Amino acid sequence: MNPHIRLGRGIVVAALLCLIPAAVFAQANGGPRMDHENTLPPTPTGPTPMAPDGHPDLTGLWNGLADNLLGVPNQMHNVGIEVGTDTTRDIHSGVQIATWPLQNRKRQNNEQNERAATLLRRMGSNRPIYKPEYWQRVKDFDANSNEEDPSNNCMPAGVPRMGVPSYIAQTPAYLVFIYPGQGGLIATATSYRMIPTDGRKHTNLEELDGTWNGESIGHWEGDTMVVDSIGFNSTSWFDQLGGYFHSENMHVTERLHRDGNTLTWTATIEDPDVLLEPWTTTPRVALLNPDPKAILPESLPCSERDFAHVVTKEHH
């Protein structure tokens, strides 16, 4: 076969493969299509079911479109940019951002599209404040993320980068969180967490081997589940983008609050070794899958095959 023809077919197939996960994901959700025209979080509807102990029942498939990693809209909202019908604002600073009507969008090719997405994902003001000696390292990690991002080698995302769990099972003594393998922005293997809520205390940090997810224990503060985690390795990054590295002394406090069919998640990162002050993510609002028969699809193995073909520093 003519090698040029083969290459051309390869490009077409690759382009189509990149498009498939979005469609598959949407179908698996049984939810709305992904053609968002805004980044507004979903509005809660319906009652909040309660567990026998009187706390909200978080059990459910939380893989609505509010927190997947595939589309730019939610990635923009995750960094605090709220695009409405004709206005855009940074929800942390309140700054209004210039917006031009949807129908006036300038035509662009795939390359321009990806470059724009890279900018859009980084335009928010909610950034962790590192100690000055680490400012350059964060910049370098982000600029060289094709090589440096641990998720590009199929490593686990870890806590809290993995975000909102796609499935939660709540028992009187444990929470079980499941995170299916994700494609799109970052690609990671399926992961799970078993989180005691029986009142136990953390193991001494010195006795813990640093891991991707750390040691987590949960407790209720009113109607909010608070998951406290320590005992991490220093390999993962703590947000989807940005090169946000951390030390083994990172302490993560996740808060999960159910309101009807929505689940709001935030994580606060404390790491006095590298950060000047604690940092809290932009709240992410996941939507309950309304289909009682819905199940998580199988996540097939993550396989790195692209890196040998990367020729520039352009990245997600």
Partner 1 sequence: MPIQARTIRARAGRAFVIAALAALIFQVARGQSNYSKTNATAKTTTGGPADNPTKSNPSEVAKTLQVAAEAVGLARWSGVGGQRLPEVDVINTMEIWASGTTYGSGSPNKSSESGSAFKTEYHASLGYNPPAMRVEMTRTSSGGSGSPAPLHTIEVVREKYAWDESEIGAGLIPGKGVATPAMASANSRILELWTLPYGVIKAAVAAGDKVTMSTENGARVLTFPLSGQLAGVVVKATLDAQDEIAKVETRTDNPALTGMATETEYSEYADHGEIATDVKSPGHIVRKQAGHPVLDLHVKMLDANNPYLVFPVPENVKKAAAQ
Within positions 197 to 236, which residues make up the interface with partner 1, using CB under 8 A?
Answer: none
Evaluate whether 302 touches 189 at the Cβ level (below 8 Å).
yes
Run of H or E including 26 = helix 3-29
Residue indicated by tokens 């309140």: 94
What is d(CA 180, CA 294) in angstroms, rounded to the nearest whole number?
14
Nearer to partner 1, 183 or 218 (CB): 183
Nearer to partner 1, 155 or 169 (CB): 155
Contacting residue, 122, 202, 219, 255, with partner 1 by CB under 8 A: 122
Residue 128's Cβ-side half-sphere holds a number of Cα atoms within 13 Å equal to 30
Contacting residue, 30, 42, 44, 184, with partner 1 by CB under 8 A: 184
282-311: which residues touch partner 1 (CB under 8 A)?
A: 297-307, 310
Q: What is the distance between the terminal CA atoms of the chain, rounded to a whole angstrom?
A: 33
Residue 167 CB, nearest approach to partner 1 (Å): 17
Q: 3-class SS at 226?
A: strand
Nearer to partner 1, 7 or 20 (CB): 20
Nearer to partner 1, 51 or 129 (CB): 129
Per CB under 8 A, which region of 108-116, 222-230, 267-275, 286-294 contacts partner 1? 108-116
What is d(CA 50, CA 57) in angstroms, rounded to the nearest whole number?
5
Residue 50 CB, nearest approach to partner 1 (Å): 35
Contacting residue, 146, 249, 268, 280, with partner 1 by CB under 8 A: 146
What number of other Cβ atoms are within 10 A of residue 135's Cβ? 11
What is d(CA 39, CA 42) in angstroms, rounded to the nearest whole number?
9
# residues contacting partner 1 (CB under 8 A): 96
52-91: which residues touch partner 1 (CB under 8 A)?
A: 70-73, 76, 81, 83, 86, 88, 90
Nearer to partner 1, 173 or 276 (CB): 276
Cα-based distances in Å from 224 to 187, 253, 257, 264: 29, 12, 5, 10
**Does 135 contact partner 1 by CB under 8 A?**
yes
Q: Which is nearest to 220 in space by CA: 197, 244, 202, 203? A: 197
Contacting residue, 33, 53, 198, 291, with partner 1 by CB under 8 A: 33
Residue 40 CB, nearest approach to partner 1 (Å): 11
